[in-house]
Every structure is written in C-alpha cells, then in structure tokens.
Amino acid sequence: MSERVLISELQSRADGAVSVSGWVETVRDQKKVQFVILRDETGAVQLVNPATREIADDAATEASDALALTESISALSTGTFLTVHGTLKHDERVKLGGTEIKIGSLDIAAAADPETPIASDSGMDKRMDWRFIDLRQRRNNLIFRVQTTLEHAMRTYWVDRDYIELHTPKLMSSPSESNAELFSMEYFGDQTAYLAQSPQHYKQMAQASGFGKIFEIGDVFRADPSFTSRHATEFTSVDAEISWIDSHEDVAAMQEELLATAIAAVKEKHGAEIAELFGIEVTVPSLPFPRIPLAEAHDIIAARGYQTPRTDGDLDPEGERQISAHVAETFGHQFVFITDYHAGIRPFYHMRDEKTGLTKSYDLLFQGVEITTGAQREHRIDVLEAQAVEKGLALEGLEHYLDFFRYGVPPHGGFGMGLARVLMLLLGESSIREVTFLFRGPTRLAP
Amino acid sequence: MSERVLISELQSRADGAVSVSGWVETVRDQKKVQFVILRDETGAVQLVNPATREIADDAATEASDALALTESISALSTGTFLTVHGTLKHDERVKLGGTEIKIGSLDIAAAADPETPIASDSGMDKRMDWRFIDLRQRRNNLIFRVQTTLEHAMRTYWVDRDYIELHTPKLMSSPSESNAELFSMEYFGDQTAYLAQSPQHYKQMAQASGFGKIFEIGDVFRADPSFTSRHATEFTSVDAEISWIDSHEDVAAMQEELLATAIAAVKEKHGAEIAELFGIEVTVPSLPFPRIPLAEAHDIIAARGYQTPRTDGDLDPEGERQISAHVAETFGHQFVFITDYHAGIRPFYHMRDEKTGLTKSYDLLFQGVEITTGAQREHRIDVLEAQAVEKGLALEGLEHYLDFFRYGVPPHGGFGMGLARVLMLLLGESSIREVTFLFRGPTRLAP
C-alpha cells in the first residue's frame, strides 16, 4: 500500500517510476498505440502503451512480453480495477492533467464482466439497480464528498459550542410521531417494536435530562407510500434541540448560522468542482435569513396570481415555490423561514403563542422546497396533555413521552432537517434519489 | 436567552447581577437561611436566601414578597427546572466553586413531581425505567460528552484523510450477515424488509464504486437473545473500509492510529473530570499495538493455567481477559490485536492467506474485551463464491452482494467497532447499559 500514488498527486510529482491504482474508464486500442483512462477516487490519468501487434517466432523474451502486455490491454474491460507500474511523464499536450504514464506492467485486481449493465445515460431506475457502478461517475463521487464536508462542518459547529451528540434508539415501544406511516415488527416473541419516524421524543428527553444542547445525524423511517422526488422511506435526518430558549426564534437563529457555516465550508472545499460538474455557483447565504409569517405568505402568493388548493391553510409545493421566488426576487435570498403556523396544521407538541394562539414554529424553505420544521416545544405538562387530547390522541400511547415533562424540564425547542433535501437543492439535482447513497422507497429495497 | 449565564462561567465573572438556569439538585431549608444547589449542563452553584418566616399583618410589600420567596423555595422539589435572577458573590468559604448567588427572584419553568421515582443508588433496571432522570447525574452527563469528543476526533481523523462518510440503508431486502439474529418486517404490502446487522455489504459496495476510503457511524440491529453486559439489540457501530490494501495489517495500522488519536482527544478535554468522577486515569495507547497470532495466544493462556472450554478454537471471554492480562503485564499495553484466525470461525468473506490458509483478519481486544473484528475481504468472485458455498450459504440470497464483485473491485478491507464497548472500557464501567443513551435489549424497548 505504501507505494501507491493518488492520481491527484501526479501533477506535482517528478517524472519517473510510479504506481497508480484505479479502474479502467475507457480503452482506446489503436493499431500503433494504446490509451487507457484510469480513474481513482481523486482523478483520472492517461496510460499509454506503444502497441506490439506481431513478433517473430524466435523473438526475444522482451518482444513476447511486449506482445503479451499489448494483448492484455486490448482485453481490458471497462470497470476493471488494476494497479499500473510505469513511468510518469509531464507533457503539456495531454489534456487530462498534463501528465501521462507509460505502462510498464499491469496488476489486475479484479477484471470486470465486459457486459456493463448500465451506461451513464441509463434511466434512473436502471442506474439504481446498479448503483455501485453508477456511483463511479465523477459527479456522483463528488456528491458524497460534498455531503461529508457539509456534515462535518455542521458537527464541528455544534461540537465547538459544547453540544452533545446523541444516538437515539430507532426501535421503540410506541410510535414517535403518529400512527400513520409506521413500520412495525415482532420483537423477541410477544412484543411489538416500531421504527422511529424521528428522534423527536428522545431529543426532548435529553432536555429533561439537563443535556442543554444536543444534535443527532441519524436514520429515520417513514412507511410513506409517496413517490415524489422529495420523499424517501428511509433517510438521514439532521436534528438539534436546545434548552432555555425564549421562542422558536432562538432555534431559527442557530439553524441559519449552522447552514451558512456549513455551506461556506462546502463552497471553499468543493466550489470549483461543483461549478464544473453541476454548473452551479454555490451561494453562501447571508444572515439573517428572511422571515415571513404564513398569513403574509398567502397574501404574497395570491398577489402573484396563485391560489393554493389546500383547504387546511398550509402551503402546497407550488405555494412554496412561489413564496421562494418572491424572496429570491425581493431579497436575493435562497432561504426563507415561514412562521406563525396555526395549530391545526402543527403537531400537538408545538408551543402556542399566548396572544395569537399561533404556534411558535417555522418551516425553512430552500430554493422553493421545505427542508425543515422547527419549533419551541410545549413543556408544561397540563398544556401538553390538553393539546394532545384536542388532537384526538390517546394519552396512554404517549405515556413514556409525557413522563419526560412530569419531573422537571426546561423550555426547549429544535428542528429536524432532511440531509438529502439540502444536498439535492445545493447541487441543483431534481431528485433525492440522485443524492442518496442507496435510496429506499415503496418499490425500492435493493440492492 | 441572551442573558442566561452558564454556571461554569460564574467563577470568572465579576460580582453583581446574574441570571442562571438549571434544575434543583438539593434544597436545605434551614430556619434562618435557605440553600439550593442548582445544576446546569456545565456545573452546580449554591443559591442562598435569608429566610423570612413570619411577617406582621400590616407588613410592607417588600416583606410579603420576602415571605412569598421563602415559601416558594421551601416548596421547591428536586428536579424542578428554573431560572434564578440574583446577585453573584465570590466567597472562598463556599465549597462549590467559590461562588454563591443570593436569590432575587425565581422563574419556575416546570415544577417536578415531588415523588422522584429513582435515587442515584437505585438498581440498574429502575434507573433505566427513568433514564431521563438518571442521566441528570454528573457522571452520566460526562459519559456522553466523552462520547461526543471520541466520535468527533475519529471523524476528524478520517475527514482530514479524505475519507467519505456514508449513511448506508438499514432496511434491506436480504440479511447482511447471517439469517440468525435478524429482525424482519412487512414492507409495503408484499415485500419483507430486514434490519441491517452491520453495514458490511454496503461499505464493501462503496469500494466497488471507487470511493477509496469510507467510514460510517450508525445504528445496527441484532435480534440476539443475549443478556451479557457487552451485548445490545441495537447499538452504534463505528465502521471503516479502505481500498488497495496489501493485507489486514493496513486496516489494523489505521485503526490503532485512529484510536490513539481519539483517546488522546478525550484525555485532553475530559481527563481531569474522568479521574474525578470515574477514578480512572485515561491512558493514550502507544503505537503500534501488540499483535499476537491466535495459536500463540492459546499457548500463552494455557501457560497461565487456563484452558478455554470452546471447541472451535476461538477465545472465550475468560481467554480474552487472560491474554489481555498477559499483554498488560508483558508490554504494559491495554490493547492487543489477535491475528491469524482459522477460516472455520470467520465469515466466508474474509480473505485467506494463500500459504497458511488462515484468514487475513484480526480481533482487537481492549482491556480484555473484544471491541472489533477487522479483515481484508475476499474480492475475487470465484474464490468468494467457493467460500460461501463451503460455509453452506445459498448463493441466491447473496445475489446483490456478489454482484459487487463481478464488475471490477479493488482489494479492500475494514473493521467494525462497537462504540459503547469502547466507551464502557475507557471509563471502567461494568456494562454497556451504563454508557448507552437508551439501551435496547430483549426485555428493554422503553422508554
């Protein structure tokens, strides 16, 4: 392993003996010269070999070795992983990085079946069937390097501010959000376990435990028979919860700073490559993000000529696009907090403003798509129980959750954010399927 | 939220008006003076109030306010979360941090039920029933701050070295490891989904995708009816996988450096507090960790007078303690890699040494307990299939997994490590239940 050189390191390396490892992207097998494009996780390089097509029957070993090498290059299939030992040469005429490796010998790690089942222009479902090949594309690799940077910047933001990282259980004895969209299974014989739809209960529990500020980036599960480009059965949720807030505004202020910090880190590390491969100039959002109360948002949308078909007063996806378009035109901003949702369209645990009765909550839209719901939580047990009953929930099923509020709890609030949605919008992709390592949906459980 | 001062900040703060928020740990309600110990996520402080027990019927407002304050302090129950506005005074005689706050007024956020269901010396099962109260203990809070530091140091180690962070799906169409210990559920009608027992399949898939180096810290699930102090039904697994290795030694070299880096970060940030609350001096392990082939380990253990009862040649828990005791005595080291396991006690996907037939794998023991299995994986499809058949596995069930090896794949290997086990041993705890936020076991699915 010690002698392997990454392809990204070739440019700054002196001419001479070198070994690189990667997979065959293309082979151009000309009569007199053979070219192979070899890619690794850092880049691609051109390998070259002067072809030896025929030798005399009594040729020297050297000549028969050359013939064998030529034939093995001719036989290389796309996707084959190999190590090449050769001679590095800088040459300005080579388009790909200005370097070329003259092949000395090849060590084939695993030859690919020559019948590659997908091409880069295959349909999405076909590409998902063969996702491990699809992910070799440079832009797909970049997606997950961007995700890594985005997450690490968020975690670093929190860790620097003394947040505690949680891993809450995904197996629960009762539903975490609602009885709908719930996976259940037999648990050691006579028990039933449910998969967590969010870490909501437990991140609130951490507040009753006096943890102060917590975050979790983990899996959540929704048995949601939805086929939109924004929904998944299993996805990575970015969650935070903080104590001693005055209102949801304290949560929003943290979240906007978090996002600006993380997007700045992405721009710094990958901005040029994102521009090249996605045609997108990453914009670091200015602070504060615009805020618009929901009622005002409806007026703005109506003035733009759109009437939402929903009767519950919430925004529909087109309404979200319209208000975001307004914000982009008016404030030049990609983000907007929609605030002051009425209680009818919010969960029972959202705190309500004493004067207006509206919830102390927000949705955050990014380029026209909802990526977050945030709120101050109701921490007063009597009010919380009354709000649950008002929503028609049975208090028995909420027993463990309600206990968290009986033995002391600070005022608190937090948000949950879909990681893939942020990534999708940041990179201008049309579906979260494209930015999820292995998407899960109603008809997609493999590979 | 702006005016709240953390208790840890009081010592360096000038005397004067101050507001702190936290929960009531104790109340000492003496006739002439009242003391409250208030704790927040950063520490504890003594609050003091000169008691007003009686006032004249025609007393001034000030006196009746004083009486009301005294009575509300007398009524405070343990666990009540409140904000106190008062006057900070440095006083060397105060044991707790050398500061005291004279209470001006109290804002009670949520009064605790006075009947606290557990005490700090309650049995483990009772404490787990009321885990959210149990977690208020200072040492329990420290456990999760240590976990946060440990994880962040590991992720930073990897991110600095260009690893990609993965979130692999936990819902799968086929078992990830074996058919035993598996949770299954109905998935959108006629399908069956299984919960991932490890990210093994998918982190290998990422190698076929040319990701090079990856890590994941995520949930795994084992329907394991085991009740030992080292096993859980759901736990956080720390996983890494890297390409272009020569053997499992490349994996071991990465893991030992990773652990030394992470433990050093824990010692630096929390060493003093761990010594105070757990009586443990954190030891940063020296590199390299000792390595002992399994056969040699058996000889050493036998020479110590212990004969393992297992007939398959693996170490049993007592054997692991014995070999670790030997390593501690001989090398003064808390870690040891046991290497060269024979194929009969390893999964089919472990690569075998061509000369010896032994697997290119290791177990890592930390203070006598196994925390990791690592290995080079077999990446040659024909050998892999033969090894699966030899183990009696049906190739049909492994179809998606085996596909990863048909279209090119580099040599690769990795490890999986239980986060809670590392934490348990690092802090000298006797059970992973103590270091898991919410433990899940055969008889434990709530809260």
> Given an 8 Å threshold on Cβ–Cβ distance, is A419 in contact with B167?
yes
Chain A neighbors of B422, CB-CB under 8 A: none
Q: What is the pLDDT of residues A221-276, one digit of tens each?
A: 999 888 899 999 999 999 999 999 999 999 999 999 999 999 999 999 999 999 99
Euclidean distance between CA atoms B129 and B131, whole angstroms: 6
Q: Decide if B44 contacts A284 (C-beta within 8 A).
A: no
CATH (residue range B131-435): 3.30.930.10
Q: What is the pLDDT of residues A27-40, one digit of tens each?
A: 999 999 999 999 99
Q: Is A4 within any annotated ligand binding site? A: no
Does the structure show a pLDDT above 80 at A179? no
Locate the domains of chain B by residue range: 7-110, 131-435
Residue of B nearest to A401 (CA): B447
Residue B181's pLDDT is what? Answer: 86
Say which CATH topology domain A7-110 has. OB fold (Dihydrolipoamide Acetyltransferase, E2P) (2.40.50)
Residue A1's pLDDT is what? Answer: 41
Distance of CA B392 to the CA centre of its chain: 35
Does the structure show a pLDDT above 80 at B415? yes
Q: Is B177 within any annotated ligand binding site? A: yes
Distance from CA of B289 to the nearest CA of A (A): 20
> Given an 8 Å threshold on Cβ–Cβ distance, is B211 in contact with A141?
yes
> Given an 8 Å threshold on Cβ–Cβ distance, is A202 in contact with B438?
yes
Contacts of B383 (CB under 8 A, 6+ apart): none
Q: Is it true that domain A129-435 has CATH number 3.30.930.10?
A: yes
ipTM summary value: 0.97
> Given an 8 Å threshold on Cβ–Cβ distance, is A445 in contact with B152?
no
Distance from CA of A183 to the nearest CA of B (A): 7
Distance from CA of B254 to the nearest CA of A (A): 12
Distance from CA of A111 to the nearest CA of B (A): 5
Helix (H, G, I), strand (E, B), or coil: what is residue B307? coil
> Given an 8 Å threshold on Cβ–Cβ distance, is A170 in contact with B144?
no
Residue of B nearest to A154 (CA): B152
> Given an 8 Å threshold on Cβ–Cβ distance, is A113 in contact with B167?
no
Residue A103 token pair: 């092949």
> Given an 8 Å threshold on Cβ–Cβ distance, is A244 in contact with B83?
yes
Average pLDDT over residues B339-346: 96
Q: Shortest CA distance to A290 belongs to which of A328, A344, A260, A258?
A: A328
Q: Decide if B341 contacts B353 (C-beta within 8 A).
A: no
Residue of A nearest to B269 (CA): A162
Helix (H, G, I), strand (E, B), or coil: what is residue A295? helix
Mean pLDDT of chain A: 95
Distance from CA of A341 to the nearest CA of B (A): 23
Euclidean distance between CA atoms B87 and B18, whole angstroms: 6
Q: Decide if A403 contacts A384 (C-beta within 8 A).
A: no
Q: What is the pLDDT of residues B134-146, one digit of tens each?
A: 999 999 999 999 9
Which long-range CB contacts under 8 A does A49-58 form with residues at least 24 apart?
Answer: A49/A73, A49/A102, A49/A103
Contacts of B156 (CB under 8 A, 6+ apart): A152, A156
Interface test with B, best of A113, A132, A170, A249 (most B CBs within 10 A): A132
Where is pLDDT greater, at A329 or B181? Answer: A329
Instruction: Please state, for a pLDDT cut of 90, what percent of chain A lies above it.
Output: 91
Average pLDDT over residues B341-348: 96
Residue B33's pLDDT is what? Answer: 98
Contacts of B292 (CB under 8 A, 6+ apart): B300, B323, B327, B336, B337, B338, B339
> Given an 8 Å threshold on Cβ–Cβ distance, is B167 in contact with A223?
no
Residue B397's pLDDT is what? Answer: 83
Strand partners, A21: A83
Q: What is the pLDDT of residues A181-229, one digit of tens each?
A: 899 999 999 999 999 999 999 999 999 999 999 999 999 999 988 889 9
Does the structure show a pLDDT above 50 at B2? no
Does the structure show a pLDDT above 60 at A374? yes
